[in-house]
Amino acid sequence: MKSPLKGRGAANNPPPRYLSTHQAPLPEEAGEEEPLWEGAPSPRTSVSPEGARTVLSYNRSPDIPFDRSINPYRGCEHGCIYCYARPTHAYLDLSPGLDFETRLYYKDRAAPLLRRELAHPGYRCRPISLGSNTDPYQPVERRLRVTRSILELLHECSHPLTIVTKSALVERDLDLLAPMAARGLVRVALSVTTLNVELARRMEPRATAPRRRLRAIQRIAAAGVPVGVMFAPVIPAINDHELEGVLSAAAEAGAESAGYVMLRLPLEVAGLFEDWLRQHYPERCEGVLRMVRELHGGALYRSRFGARMRGTGNYAELTATRFHAACRRLKLNRGLGLGPESSRRRPLRDDLFQAPRVPARAQLSLL
């Protein structure tokens, strides 16, 4: 088993599942237990342009509240060990382990490509989700400003959007988000998985500290932007006991909505997460995995719509009961359609959208 690496979630690089060949130790090395990075610094982060042709991704999933999204980045330097997006790096023939958090790609022409897509005559406006796969405000965004360029365009054409992030960097863009919120065009959610600094350091090593995320919720709310909290993922016997505490702290900071998602371990994430458990919580490992299997009918993960986000069984029902009870007590999700304690969802406006002009192809105006 590899030793934990400072500032990284994964400690190894399992081979991508689509490669027909991969490296293996020589027979005389097979018994060696020396960690790959023993005595060496944590691998550096590299960032490369992706060369994308489009930026909008569409889905028909019945258990998520949006049908289109934008992911400015592939891979994520936050290094969250539980991240369900890790297996997507295999599409690049890269590992969902360390490669996912150290070899990043960005959409270098995101704004021009999005402008072209939004200007298409057949485009129909619906809210766009930012942060559905990897975080739009991970550390490289400070320098590359890809997310910022997307927000500038959406602000220009009054297009609705939602944002989910673990980063306080979202505060940088309040100059755009506040006026959009005044027109009913945006909602923001901060993901807060724990209030325990040590657990956060181990579980999501390069994400914003938990208390700083709560301060971001406070500042976003003060700017008039609807803001919520996501307790995601719920990990049995690791952070599940903090559910009420996180919701309470977020509500006190100004959150008006809340959500939660059970731990998801698709494909390579299962092995990476198990390795992480054995490194940091060896005494709990078997118990945690047993409870995860209970959530998914005996498997570590099932991708079935309707169950993949919440799980099934007694533990899933208990967690749902705790969540909704806390929301009622804290007056979260009132009128947002996000639970039994709510009434009707307040939709983002899509009637203000004005298709952007594409300079290279724009027609002369008649007015």
Domain boundaries, the chain: 42-330
Average pLDDT of span 218-228: 98
Structure tokens at 75: 């891979």
pLDDT score of 359: 78
What whole-number distance in Å separates Cα of residue 345 and Cα of residue 357?
Answer: 32
pLDDT score of 29: 47
Local confidence band at 354 (pLDDT 50, 70, 90 cut-offs): very high
What whole-number distance in Å separates Cα of residue 86 and Cα of residue 96?
Answer: 5
What whole-number distance in Å separates Cα of residue 255 and Cα of residue 228?
Answer: 5
CA distances to 111, 114, 363 from 358, rounded to whole Å, are 11, 10, 9
Neighbour order of strands in the sheet with 68-70: 57-58, 68-70, 128-130, 161-165, 186-191, 227-234, 257-262
Structure tokens at 106: 């960005």
- pLDDT higher than 50, residue 102: yes
Report which of residues 51 and 166 the model is more confident about.
Answer: 166
pLDDT score of 366: 53
Report which of residues 103 and 362 the model is more confident about.
Answer: 103
Domain 42-330, CATH class in plain words: alpha beta
Which range has the worst mean pLDDT, 1-15, 210-224, 243-257, 266-280? Answer: 1-15
- pLDDT higher than 60, residue 63: yes
**Residue 49 three-state SS:** strand
- Asked whether 244 and 300 are in contact (CB, 8 A), the reply is no
Per residue in 52-81, is it b (16+ CB within 10 Å) or e — as a string? beebeeeeeeeeeeeebbbbbbbbbbbbbb
* Sequence letter at residue 125: C
- Asked whether 165 and 96 are in contact (CB, 8 A), the reply is no
Average pLDDT of span 225-253: 98
Pairing of strands 103-106, 73-74: antiparallel
Q: What is the pLDDT of residues 135-151, one digit of tens each?
A: 999 999 999 999 999 99
- pLDDT higher than 90, residue 343: no
Please give the helix or strand (H or E) that residue 293 lies within, else none: helix 285-295
- pLDDT higher than 80, residue 4: no
Average pLDDT of span 105-127: 97
pLDDT score of 303: 92
pLDDT score of 2: 63
In the block, tokens 């079935």 appear at: 304
Average pLDDT of span 86-93: 96
Q: Which residues pair with 164 in a beta bridge?
A: 189
Kindly state the percentage of the chain with pLDDT values over 90. Answer: 82
- pLDDT higher than 70, residue 226: yes
Average pLDDT of span 153-168: 98
- pLDDT higher than 90, residue 335: no
Pairing of strands 161-165, 186-191: parallel
* CA-based nearest residue to 54, from 129, 109, 125: 109
Average pLDDT of span 286-305: 96
Q: Centre a 10 Å sphere on the Cβ of residue 291 and count the other Cβ atoms it contains.
A: 19
Which range has the worst mean pLDDT, 2-6, 76-80, 146-150? Answer: 2-6
pLDDT score of 272: 97
What whole-number distance in Å separates Cα of residue 362 and Cα of residue 198?
Answer: 54
Please give the helix or strand (H or E) that residue 276 lies within, else none: helix 268-280
* CA-based nearest residue to 139, from 89, 80, 77: 77
* CA-based nearest residue to 266, from 74, 90, 67, 72: 90
pLDDT score of 107: 97
- Asked whether 131 and 163 are in contact (CB, 8 A), the reply is yes
What whole-number distance in Å separates Cα of residue 293 and Cα of residue 265?
Answer: 10
Q: What is the pLDDT of residues 26-50, one digit of tens each?
A: 555 444 433 333 344 678 999 999 9
Structure tokens at 129: 């989700």
User: What letter does residue 279 receive in the DSSP assignment?
Assistant: H
- pLDDT higher than 70, residue 246: yes
Q: Which residues pair with 189 in a beta bridge?
A: 164, 228
Structure tokens at 192: 């807060």
- pLDDT higher than 70, residue 58: yes
Structure tokens at 196: 């325990």
Q: Centre a 10 Å sphere on the Cβ of residue 124 and count the other Cβ atoms it contains.
A: 7
What whole-number distance in Å separates Cα of residue 117 and Cα of residue 171?
Answer: 27
Report which of residues 321 and 361 the model is more confident about.
Answer: 321
* Average pLDDT over the chain, rounded to an integer: 91
pLDDT score of 321: 98
What whole-number distance in Å separates Cα of residue 348 and Cα of residue 339?
Answer: 18
What whole-number distance in Å separates Cα of residue 221 and Cα of residue 231?
Answer: 18
Local confidence band at 346 (pLDDT 50, 70, 90 cut-offs): confident
- Asked whether 45 and 302 are in contact (CB, 8 A), the reply is no
Report which of residues 147 and 25 the model is more confident about.
Answer: 147
What whole-number distance in Å separates Cα of residue 332 and Cα of residue 146?
Answer: 32
